[in-house]
Structure 1
């Protein structure tokens, strides 16, 4: 039986099974089998090498992908944010390729990608959906762009979810370690209320593991366990721009905001530029970038032009941004600021920097 037929058969069985505590484990096993088959199908298709994807070279400090239905104003929004020239037209599928632009804000260079609109079944390849979603998977932030007159993104969300993109979620704290014997052992370190140890064990076995230890450090559900088993999920921050608010009544905007209240929403008009500064600040805050000031050895720090890095970056990350050989020739660094225990603290590559730190990096003399 073909993989597609096997998946369809399993999906049909799930649809006919009423979900309750008694059937949770069975449904979980079926979903794990589907996930495994889908992964096999993806490997088979990719091995043929006949799928053309979008390639965009990464630029700047971070990347934002504009994701939305066709004709919601993504191209006009890109032009407002970056000054890039993306073709604009009042008809579907104006953008047939990924169009990049760079937004300069607070010394940061943020790459913005305008992509073709997503439609129903995009995750299955309709309307070049697979290529669009593949480009979105590499972004640091997804900016959901919606038309205030059609603010329901349930279809859009489902397509992203089916394409293994998890918006505003963190990867579940679960690890699976393979072994040579002993079968499947589940070790929760917290009380499980959304899933049973038996279901976790059954799903792990259904996905193809024979001997493994599953350590569960948070209270997860069936879908989260499925995400861990699949291993191909990406977890991306998302905010929303509600476009065309310059031509809408307040009650309609209120409805759009209420419908999408799980996201941080920014009412904008791509046509007039209304709300652009607030949206730029929102993107900057969501990426969570910080400023680092560099101090050459024996000189004063350059406090005019900061180096932009992401929160949580280390001295090693700073080295790589300055010069590709700084890390390999690194001796030590000195830090002044919030991350230092005292001014001029000597630190190593793993030291995590904080906003407005001053960093002096010392490299080997023969470098």
Structure 2
């Protein structure tokens, strides 16, 4: 009878070896995890037959490995970018303003593992993107920790794991390097496509879209993920269209769209892969807005005249002086999303940092390519209208 090494990986990634157990105990663990009312969930090892993982809602991961089996060698992170001859890059495109650099480690995210999961991107001149997965597992509790440990053990890590129930984030690797949750598309390494490819495993089932009954306005953790993606210039768009319902017909996986468009993709959109997740998500909610089951709130209106008045009064005024703070805050939030203003200065006061950030927007290609005295940091209707179109408010005179 086959025996198994039994161990527990704790939420802090420390390991307790529990000795050898028989096949009957492993069969019992598997059967208990299948019960609907138990806070446990079983996953088979994708590369080693017979090996079993049991995810627990207390954050621990029980591991059962067959004794005497062939040793398992995980994929080793490769820090070197592939040469152009091996993986030719698509024609470089102009990246949005704010994309020169961005958030690498999300504040408040739980770091799990040693952070070494991938390496440099193969096609950094191509547009930035986010790839969405579902774990096909329960959410809530501390499944975030146990599922993250499982992904590390099987060397299929994304950069981020997100729980839509608790709004907690686990970060397994830096956002500017590759993850390991996608298959290659022939010689093309899909994990390393684009300036960044921020992969997010969401604790959910594809057949039950996690955006149903979920309000991004009440989820600061998810909003911090969106802000990090925007800091790298990832557009608020789904260039391959909304993810398809699961189960259902497979979507076309366009290589041209994948390689040449930036934005949000589902695992179901990636060439060379056959998974159908993340299911029929409400894309408006994913991008932080109200979805189809929620009436949209009125778009805020920001007046050029009010912003100019705020700049005239707030900059020479005492520190923290505010004039039309609600409208200034809408402007500052947009500048934060563009990666031009640190969010700690988005306080409703049109100070020198807000002025300098807006001047950078005016000088940018997206803001109008102003220069010299025209890029003075005081909003005009043309540059403000461009910013409003990207960030969901209305610009008026």
The TM-score with structure 1 as length reference comes to: 0.25
Higher-strand-fraction structure: 1
The structure carrying a bigger helix percent of its residues is 1
